[in-house]
Structure 1
Amino acid sequence: MSSADVITLPKILSKVPEIVANLPGLLKGSKMSKITDTTKPLGLGVEFEAATAANPNGIAVIHQDTELTYRQFNAWANRIADYFASIGLKKGDTVVVDIENRPELVATVLACAKLGICAALVNTSQRGKVLTHSINLVEPKAAIIGGELIEAIEEVRDDLDLKTNFFYLADADTLQNPGEAPAGYKNLATEIQNCSSENPAGTNQSRLKDPLFYIYTSGTTGLPKAVVFNHGRWQKAFGAFGYSAVRLDKDDRLYCTLPFYHATGMVICWASVIAARGGLVLARRFSASRFWDDIRQHNCTAFGYVGELCRYLHEQPRKADDSNNRVHTIVGNGLRPSIWKDFKERFGIERVEEFYASSEGNVAFTNVFNFDNTVGFSPVSYAIVKYDKEADQPVRDAKGFMIKVSKGESGLMLGEITDKTPFDGYTDKEKTEKAIFRDVFKKGDAWFNTGDMMRDIGFRHAQFVDRLGDTFRWKGENVSTTEVEQILDGFEAIIESVVYGVEIPDTNGRAGMAELRLDRPHDEVDFQALCDYLKRELPPYAIPVFLRITDHGVETTGTFKHQKNKLKDEKYDLSKHDDPVYVLLPGENCYQRLSEEMQKGIDGGEYRF
């Protein structure tokens, strides 16, 4: 951690003018983040109807050549809701929604929200057994399928518990071209044509703890877990981001390429737009080469990001007009410190609203004060506690209680479970209980285990360090993959790195390995300079033993997070891939190209790592 990243009193005081100017929004957002009233109508449907009343003719959603005002979009969702009610769907039911990023997706989710129906937001890349599991897990009463995903559904339909109520939305602008549904599906676009466009009474029946949608997260067994995201959590995010952090207005347009089956797009980005009564510009998927052209075409002033998205943009060839855009604010998580300031300067961005949150978690941070290299500030009760990675558990004192870290130190992030910050859990009660620590600081208290290592940098600000699963142990020491990646990324020849631990036979722990994407052929890299650099910047145990060179982008998830499982499995085994591998053998001062003979020696124990 750089000392420049520590938040000090002078730094806080320097933000006072900005804080005062935004005080009404900060107070409103803070109030929403602590809401406990279980009788008050709230949530997505309530707030979208309020935005429609406030700005009926403002642009609400844009996708390609389609532009819909708040009045038009709200009326569309109302017709879907009216139809759902007519076929017996009601508050408390679950409906599967499997549609890629386009207006039909958000209109369907909004319609469900108005009736109190929980929308199960299936990951659109899922296929086969994983897709079957995700759908059956939530026991849906209906499924709304985009034309682009019919084939995936048909492959598993015989294995689904749901046998009726399959609805189709053509892969088109269905308001203009409803298309024709395939056999076994009803065409939702035509079914709703004569339905009511008026706001349903059900909207005002949504309460704090009522389910809004299911978001799927990765499970330890390889099968997804369905996380309940209720109207209360949505309302808190609406306040925290819409009013306190992102602070757009009705003339702003936010560009979102993030998949709406995840909370960053569906909740953070869209809620920020609704609070501002502004416009959401939806892209089907991310394209680094087309990104800024879309931004300029639609006059966007903000965008959402996650994971490596900003890095991919930063790697595009520099152009004279890079800063010729109207973007002033970006919101997301995963912007690397190694490019943070340069990215802002290159593209003329004023505010980076980095945040920390999880779909299931009860603690969140937002960069409301616009500091660099931080996930921001949290108004809710949290603790960063000392963690013993070797024992894989928090450290407890003689009385059995956990110990908070000091300023500048890192530890495990916990969120206190209270009426104001509940943990709604998973569909699996056993998994819910496993995520809770009890008797943390006093008998009877309960805290959510985020599974994330965070650093306390002062004044209720934090830095993300690592997922616990992204830390490995080598030479008796814990190695942070994130920190090693940041150092590797600072070497001139390296465009992108992903670090992970691999097993070497007859050694303890895991040796460090990095997959690298270079800006030149690997045989033109000065590996001696790289070794010298790593020895200056890293302790010996953290220097990667193996380097795997790739000529393509590192594989990522739908939210642009690195896919490491396959890399860990293939490790340095030359028989499992065609990429060049370099190794830093014991006693050597420089990396050398790994040969089959050398690999046999490593696996046979000829080298003492």
Structure 2
Amino acid sequence: MTEFSRVIRDLVSVLPAIAYRPPKDDEKKSLGRLFQETAQRYQDKPAIIFEGRELSWGEFNALVNRFAHALKSQGVKRGDCVGLLMENRIEMLACFIALAKLGAATGLINTSLKGRALIHCMNITNSIKCIVGEELIESITEVKDELPLADNDFIWVKDEGQAATAADKQSGAPKWAVDVMAVLEKMPTDNLPETLDIRAGEKACYILTSGTTGLPKAALILHRRYLSAAEPYSRIAFRAKQTDRIYLCLPLYHFTGLGPGVGTSLYSGASIFLRRRFSASQFWPEVQEHQTTLFVYVGELCRYLAAQKESQHERNNPIQTMVGNGLRPDVWDVFRQRFKIPRISEMYGSSEGNAIFINLLNKDKTIGTTSADILLVKYDFDADEMVYDKKGKLLEVQKGEPGVLLMKIDERFKFDGYNDKKASNSKIITGVRKKNDRWFNTGDVIKQVDVGFALGLAHYEFVDRLGDTFRWRSENVSTNEVGEALNGNAQVEMANVYGVQIPNAEGRAGMAAITLKPGVEFDANEFSTFVMNEMPAFARPVFIRIQPAAETTVTFKLFKANLRKQAYNIDEIDDVVYVLKPRSSVYEVLDNDFYRAIISGQHGY
């Protein structure tokens, strides 16, 4: 098949989804209703597999209904919000859908949160109750007296999974919590009447942002927003069928797992192989065992898979399509060439964003295209601000130049924002093209790229977050691009790149915290030669920090905040730091004398 024929075929197959219009706010459509209709249509087909358990759609719907009736008996009603703190498992997803059937929103809480951040998440979502898994009861125990909830407002859910450790297992629910599992079998399995009356404009859930630079914000997801994402993910990105099976190992409190993963299943009827958490060593054996044809990813997770030794299980694997975000070009090649994945549908979006990009034509190394109205505007990285012309209008970049992405807010692409009006307003820019028009400021830098024949559809590539792009020697440096280059070194397992300040030097110097491959001792000469040959002078990191292990979020995004703060301060960090001195071509250990010269401004940079 020629490239022209393939593109025409691909485009024709997705035209109905491209033309899709989200439901109006007053329409009786919701994710609970979608789940219910899919369960009815495929009631005897497999719905979910988890740690040795398998439920059909009919069985799963019955379990969801039991939870819904039980929660209703505890006083949960339409319009309420209930915090949900539970690891990936069948009961977690059942509680989420049960609340949706009742018309109550779910506050999806990051399972790693404790203390002040956990209290904050319960408070900003105005949660009237908290559903907590047995495996995370200690996190709630530590803060329950600081939450505005009575004892019977905590609902305890037993962990019956095979992966639950002995330490996770409790003798039963604590005295101050309601054991919902004790009454579950007595609850009706019939559908609830209120489900069919829930409107698309009602709240479905809150996605709590990572909060790596502060306390989390609550991104509001209406049923309209969830449904308008589920169909494109299913039809355009995955092209899912009921006979497909999705490998889902991302945390379900994160929108990448909940949207493309669960949303595709609810829309298409495809079953889910659910994993409590990601395991690089178990990935390919499980893909083969459960014959999963679809895979939901984030980029760093894929990098871990690419770093694994070749396995017989990866050969002739059944995965046909993978959908996710953050897949860097070097790792993309591994999945195409080594793992032989036919279709990679990289997407771009955010929990609070009003539109998405999807690589619908299966082009390499692109986030694809969007039907939203967008602008890419110039940014002054030295001044840390957008660039305006003499008339006070934002300047757009030339084709192929990186710019900050703005997405127009209109009737089709609404911006629901956060549960905090001030935080929502801070993301909106007005009067960009016309008086009073409104645009969502993504804070991301992307650029248009040439992908060959694409029927005139503009395609784009993700460059960096604004905070991850810095200026050095009058050049804009992308941390992603530098990290990608360093990851190509034979010694490096993972490179985390960021900018650090040097006294009496303009801009920020590059610094990379790198972890080495197992058994490797750092060879500064080999590494230096690699950097000199592979990278332009302005992009070469000035400092290299050797870390024993990379610090990541649960979705494998690299932490940078603490690294930036510690910088190259050898008085505060135990790791060895190397420095590329001015006019030198070899990295050497940063000693006390040169460190003092740097901080006193006597460095020559």
- SS state at 2:281 partner: coil
Which runs of 5 or more residues in structure 1 are unaligned?
Answer: 1-9
Are 2:183 and 1:188 equivalent residues in the alignment?
Answer: no
Task: Identify the residue that residue 548 of structure 1 maps to in structure 2.
Answer: 545
d(CA) in 1 for partners of 2:357 and 2:398? 19
* Matched ranges for 1:331-370 at <5 A: 331-370=323-362
Task: Identify the residue that residue 496 of structure 1 maps to in structure 2.
Answer: 494
Change in CA separation of 1:435 and 1:548 when aligned onto 2, cut-off 3 Å = same
- SS state at 1:430 partner: helix
* Matched ranges for 1:471-486 at <5 A: 471-486=469-484
Are 2:76 and 1:101 equivalent residues in the alignment?
Answer: no
Deviates more, 1:486-495 or 1:408-417: 486-495
- SS state at 2:341 partner: coil
Task: Identify the residue that residue 4 of structure 1 maps to in structure 2.
Answer: none
1:389 Cα deviation from its structure 2 partner: 2.1
- SS state at 1:347 partner: coil
- SS state at 1:294 partner: helix
Task: Identify the residue that residue 249 of structure 1 maps to in structure 2.
Answer: 241
d(CA) in 2 for partners of 1:607 and 1:401? 41
Q: Which amino acid aligns with 1:567?
A: L
Q: Which amino acid aligns with 1:137?
A: I
- SS state at 1:377 partner: coil
Q: Which amino acid aligns with 1:27?
A: L
Task: Identify the residue that residue 277 of structure 1 maps to in structure 2.
Answer: 269
How many pairs were matched up?
591
Are 2:408 and 1:416 equivalent residues in the alignment?
Answer: yes
Answer whether contact 1:170 1:179 (CA < 8 A) is retained.
no
Answer whether contact 1:136 1:162 (CA < 8 A) is retained.
no
1:453 Cα deviation from its structure 2 partner: 0.3
Task: Identify the residue that residue 485 of structure 2 maps to in structure 1.
Answer: 487
Q: Which amino acid aligns with 2:494?
A: E
- SS state at 1:487 partner: helix
- SS state at 1:412 partner: strand
Task: Identify the residue that residue 141 of structure 2 maps to in structure 1.
Answer: 154
- SS state at 1:453 partner: strand
d(CA) in 2 for partners of 1:408 and 1:12? 23
Query: RMSD in angstroms over aligned alpha carbons?
Result: 2.1
Task: Identify the residue that residue 442 of structure 1 maps to in structure 2.
Answer: 434
Deviates more, 1:307-316 or 1:563-572: 563-572
d(CA) in 2 for partners of 1:367 and 1:128? 40
2:599 to 592, 597, 603: 603
d(CA) in 2 for partners of 1:513 and 1:265? 31
Are 2:131 and 1:126 equivalent residues in the alignment?
Answer: no
1:166 to 151, 154, 158: 154
Are 2:382 and 1:390 equivalent residues in the alignment?
Answer: yes
d(CA) in 2 for partners of 1:580 and 1:65? 45
d(CA) in 1 for partners of 2:366 and 2:213? 32
1:131 Cα deviation from its structure 2 partner: 0.6
1:143 Cα deviation from its structure 2 partner: 1.0
d(CA) in 2 for partners of 1:521 and 1:249? 44
1:559 to 532, 555, 558: 555
Answer whether contact 2:238 2:294 (CA < 8 A) is retained.
no
2:63 to 76, 87, 92: 76
Answer whether contact 2:244 2:293 (CA < 8 A) is retained.
yes
d(CA) in 2 for partners of 1:265 and 1:341? 23
TM-score (norm: length of structure 2): 0.93
Task: Identify the residue that residue 514 of structure 1 maps to in structure 2.
Answer: 512
Q: Which amino acid aligns with 1:397?
A: D
Task: Identify the residue that residue 62 of structure 1 maps to in structure 2.
Answer: 49
TM-score (norm: length of structure 1): 0.93
1:41 to 10, 28, 31: 28
Deviates more, 1:348-357 or 1:122-131: 348-357
Q: Once the two structures are superposed, what CA deviation does each residue of 1:134-176 show, in whole Å capped at 9, x if it has no partner?
A: 11111112111000111110100111012242110011159xx
d(CA) in 2 for partners of 1:221 and 1:484? 22
d(CA) in 1 for partners of 2:407 and 2:522? 48
1:405 Cα deviation from its structure 2 partner: 2.5
Q: Which amino acid aligns with 1:73?
A: F
1:371 to 353, 363, 368: 363
2:584 to 585, 588, 591: 588
Which runs of 5 or more residues in structure 2 are unaligned?
Answer: 163-168, 451-456
* Matched ranges for 1:180-259 at <5 A: 180-219=172-211, 222-259=214-251
1:90 to 53, 77, 80: 77
d(CA) in 1 for partners of 2:521 and 2:345? 40
Task: Identify the residue that residue 166 of structure 2 maps to in structure 1.
Answer: none
d(CA) in 2 for partners of 1:474 and 1:352? 34
1:429 Cα deviation from its structure 2 partner: 0.8
Q: Which amino acid aligns with 1:556?
A: T
- SS state at 1:338 partner: helix
1:414 Cα deviation from its structure 2 partner: 1.0
Task: Identify the residue that residue 143 of structure 1 maps to in structure 2.
Answer: 130
2:287 to 292, 295, 318: 295
Answer whether contact 1:36 1:419 (CA < 8 A) is retained.
no
- SS state at 1:213 partner: strand
Deviates more, 1:320-329 or 1:304-313: 320-329
Answer whether contact 2:200 2:222 (CA < 8 A) is retained.
yes
1:221 Cα deviation from its structure 2 partner: 5.9
1:53 to 32, 37, 40: 40
d(CA) in 1 for partners of 2:112 and 2:297? 19
d(CA) in 1 for partners of 2:23 and 2:37? 21
Are 2:540 and 1:539 equivalent residues in the alignment?
Answer: no
Answer whether contact 1:547 1:582 (CA < 8 A) is retained.
yes
Answer whether contact 1:36 1:420 (CA < 8 A) is retained.
no
1:511 Cα deviation from its structure 2 partner: 1.4
d(CA) in 2 for partners of 1:69 and 1:214? 28
Change in CA separation of 1:262 and 1:190 when aligned onto 2, cut-off 3 Å = same
d(CA) in 2 for partners of 1:14 and 1:193? 52
d(CA) in 1 for partners of 2:213 and 2:570? 28
Deviates more, 1:128-137 or 1:467-476: 467-476
Q: Which amino acid aligns with 1:202?
A: E
1:384 Cα deviation from its structure 2 partner: 1.6
Q: Once the two structures are superposed, what CA deviation does each residue of 1:102-142 show, in whole Å capped at 9, x if it has no partner?
A: 00100000001111100000101000111111111111121
1:498 Cα deviation from its structure 2 partner: 1.0
- SS state at 2:441 partner: strand
Q: Once the two structures are superposed, what CA deviation does each residue of 1:170-189 show, in whole Å capped at 9, x if it has no partner?
A: 11159xx9973221111111
- SS state at 1:374 partner: coil
Deviates more, 1:68-77 or 1:562-571: 562-571
* Matched ranges for 1:299-314 at <5 A: 299-314=291-306
Change in CA separation of 1:407 and 1:476 when aligned onto 2, cut-off 3 Å = closer
Q: Which amino acid aligns with 1:172?
A: E
Answer whether contact 2:524 2:587 (CA < 8 A) is retained.
no
Q: Which amino acid aligns with 1:543?
A: R
1:523 Cα deviation from its structure 2 partner: 5.6
d(CA) in 2 for partners of 1:61 and 1:178? 26
Answer whether contact 2:24 2:201 (CA < 8 A) is retained.
no
d(CA) in 2 for partners of 1:279 and 1:600? 60
Q: Once the two structures are superposed, what CA deviation does each residue of 1:535-578 show, in whole Å capped at 9, x if it has no partner?
A: 444332221101112333x1111111100112112222233333
2:458 to 449, 453, 460: 460
- SS state at 1:269 partner: helix
Of all paired residues, the percent bearing the same amino acid is 39
- SS state at 1:340 partner: helix
Answer whether contact 1:493 1:520 (CA < 8 A) is retained.
no
